[in-house]
Amino acid sequence: MGTFADIIQGGMGVAVSNWKLAKEVASKGKIGVVSGTALDSVLARRLQLGDPGGHIRRAMADFPWPDMVKRIWDRYFVADGKSPEEPFKPVPLPSLTPRKSAIELLLVANFVEVFLAKEGHEGTVGINYLEKIQMPTLPSLLGAMLAGVNVVLMGAGIPQAIPGALDQLAAWDPAEIKMQVEEQGTHGPTTQRFDPREYCQGDLPLLSRPAFLAIVSSDIVAKTLSRKATGAVDGFVVEYHTAGGHNAPPRRSRGDSANAGNHTYGEIDLPDIARIRDLGKPFWLAGGFASPEALKEAQSLGAMGVQVGTAFALCEESGILPEIRYETIRHYLAGDLEIRTDFAASPTGYPFKVATPAPHLVPVAPLPEPCRVCDLGYLRRPYRTDAGAIAYRCPGELGGFVKKGGTVAETVGKQCLCNGLMASVGLAQIRDGILEAPLLTMGEDLSFLPHVLKDGSPVYHAGDLIDYLES
Ligand SMILES: Cc1cc2nc3c(=O)[nH]c(=O)nc-3n(C[C@H](O)[C@H](O)[C@H](O)COP(=O)(O)O)c2cc1C
């Protein structure tokens, strides 16, 4: 791939940074990144909405194995879209031992998103995954590589095994990653092995190994990855705790029971940029860097540039529903938008930024327990049952989690991120007439807004933002 650009449009799940946003950014010479999270559900739901514009059909026609595509099309496509009262059909839940249909859906869904983002220009397209969501990763990577993804970015954990997996998949060799399983007891490590030739037969296309950028919040993690990753780490995105989405926990309260509940960020949580620069790899700074001054400052510290999330999440090409974006912008301008770091909400255990733009759009309290249905399951964690079998549980299931042996403490304040984030991009599930409510995440800094908005309108485009950042 060519030299790296100065601006990365951050990966934003679920489907906030969709192919339309990434395509727009990449065609303007920057790095456009699609979110790779939950793409199997996103594809299945878009097909059930009738594939408006025929984009998925067009991308699927380019997938090298038409039989696979046909099985997915026949299962999920609904001409003219399902009725609003009808629930979306479920897709297979992530698991350590996924069925063939689950693997096929991941391959095709990741292919489609990257194919569409790359269509019609020569720019650079990346895909973002979370280390915490391990089970769908290997087939997802292969699907994205089949569409020629240029960069893979991964954070929310220490993605040590992924660089090596990329090397293996690029050679069509089996790849293996160690899975985190709770309550393993005396059982040995559990791994997931994925042999691409089991699913893709006949003439195998040549694959390029995408660049790998690790998203880190400390120089210590960057150094560990530089030394211990299974293959090349080509650079770092260094994310401050003001960024949207998940954040690294404050170091003082990490694993320190005496400090449990005492969550505050301080000096100690700031990455040492000089140490990151000394690692000698390209890096970008993220978290409140959406201004021309911040871009220049990052470059003066030795960074290639910046990764920007929130400012792209609120533009017209973003996947967030327009009414939510406009409401958020209006509340920011009126001075009553609340953005806070919620240390309990995310079932991952990581702090998560929650924005509350409008009480009628976002529930003030978590959904009551009977409404919690773990039917997307991306944040389910494998654990060993007393009988030694593998089962799955998510603290977002509340009582369901406790029934499966989890502690009550872990469920306190938990939101169902999977369903809430899906709702914010217009793919809400409906059950018995009750629509899942949207959950919105934003970074702390929206001071870019007055610079990109004109004439009192809440509408601006990715191109307006890029022009501002480079002004
Ligand atoms: C709506 C939203 C969703 C996000 N989702 C993800 C994600 O799925 N994976 C990830 O690595 N980062 C995610 N992020 C973080 C961004 O990629 C980016 O690093 C961050 O937003 C930069 O800080 P800023 O919001 O102040 O620009 C998300 C951010 C936002 C605003």
CATH of the domain at 288: 3.20.20
Structure tokens at 196: 């691409």
Whether residue 338 lies inside any domain: the answer is no
Query: How far does the centroid of ligand 1 lie from the alpha carbon of residue 297, in Å?
Result: 20
Neighbours of 453 (CB within 10 A): 16
- Judge whether 360 lies within some domain: no
Position 82 in a domain: yes
Residue type, 35: S
Distance 244 CA to ligand 1 centre (A): 5
| Kind of pairing between the strands at 352-356 and 338-342 | antiparallel
**226 vs 214: CA distance, rounded Å:** 10
Cβ distance 25 to 9 under 8 Å? yes
In this structure, the residue with its CA closest to atom 8 of ligand 1 is 13
Characterise 215 by phi-psi region: left (phi > 0), alpha (psi -120 to 50), beta (else).
beta
CA 379 distance to own-chain centroid:
12
Which residues have C-beta within 8 Å of that of residue 2, sequence separation ≥ 6? 124
pLDDT at position 126 is 98
Confidence at residue 158, expressed as pLDDT on a 0 to 100 scale: 87
Residue 388 lies in a domain: no
| H or E, element range at 381 | strand 381-384
Q: What is the pLDDT of residue 370?
A: 46
Atom of ligand 1 nearest to the CA of 11: 17
- 392 CA → ligand 1 middle, Å: 27
Here the tokens at position 323 are 């009414």
Backbone angles phi, psi at 352, to 5 degrees: -140, 130
- What residue owns the CA closest to ligand 1's atom 4? 12
**Which tens digits make up the pLDDT trace of 232-261?**
999 999 999 999 999 999 986 555 444 445
Whether 305 is covered by a domain: the verdict is yes
DSSP state of 327: H
Chain mean position to CA 117: 16
Cα–Cα dist 283/280, whole Å: 9
Q: Residue 319 in 3-state DSSP?
A: coil
Structural domain of 23 = 7-320+454-469
Phi, psi of 406 (to 5 degrees): -75, 165
Identify whether the C-beta of residue 329 lies closer than 8 Å to the C-beta of residue 358. Answer: no
State the pTM of this model. Answer: 0.96
Residue 240's DSSP bridge partners are: none
Strand partners, 21: none
The answer to whether residue 374 is domain-embedded is no
The Å distance, Cα 245 to ligand 1 centre, comes to 5
Residue whose CA lies nearest to ligand 1 atom number 11: 155
Return the pLDDT at 261: 57
Say what the pLDDT of residue 253 is. Answer: 55
State in Å: Cα 216 to ligand 1 middle.
Answer: 12
Give the chain's domain count: 1
Q: pLDDT under 50 in the chain at which residues? A: 1-2, 256-260, 359, 362-365, 370
Place of tokens 């954990």: 157
Report the nearest-CA residue for atom 2 of ligand 1.
12
Nearest protein Cα to ligand 1, atom 6: 12
Please answer whether residues 422 and 434 qualify as being in contact, where contact means their C-beta atoms are separated by less than 8 angstroms. no
Residue nearest to atom 7 of ligand 1 (CA): 12
User: In 212-234, which positions are buried (b, 16+ CB within 10 angstroms) versus exposed (e)?
Assistant: bbbbbbbbebbbebbeebbbebb
* Ligand 1 closest atom vs CA 16: 1
C-alpha dihedral sign at 443, 447, 452, 456: positive
Within-domain flag for 387: no
Q: Pocket residues for ligand 1 (CB within 6 Å)?
A: 10-13, 16, 35, 37, 128, 130, 155, 215, 239, 242-245, 286-288, 290, 307-311, 313, 441-443, 445
Whole-angstrom distance, CA of residue 300 vs CA of residue 303: 7
Distance 189 CA to ligand 1 centre (A): 32
* Per-residue model confidence (pLDDT) at position 388: 92
- 196, part of any domain: yes
3 state DSSP class of 63: coil
Distance, in Å, from the CA atom of 3 to the CA atom of 390, rounded to the nearest integer, reads 45
- Count Cβ atoms within 10 A of the Cβ of residue 155 and give its class: 0-12 exposed, 13-18 middle, 19 or more buried: buried
* Distance from the alpha carbon of residue 85 to the mean position of ligand 1, in angstroms: 32
Q: How far is the CA of 130 from the centre of ligand 1 (A)?
A: 11
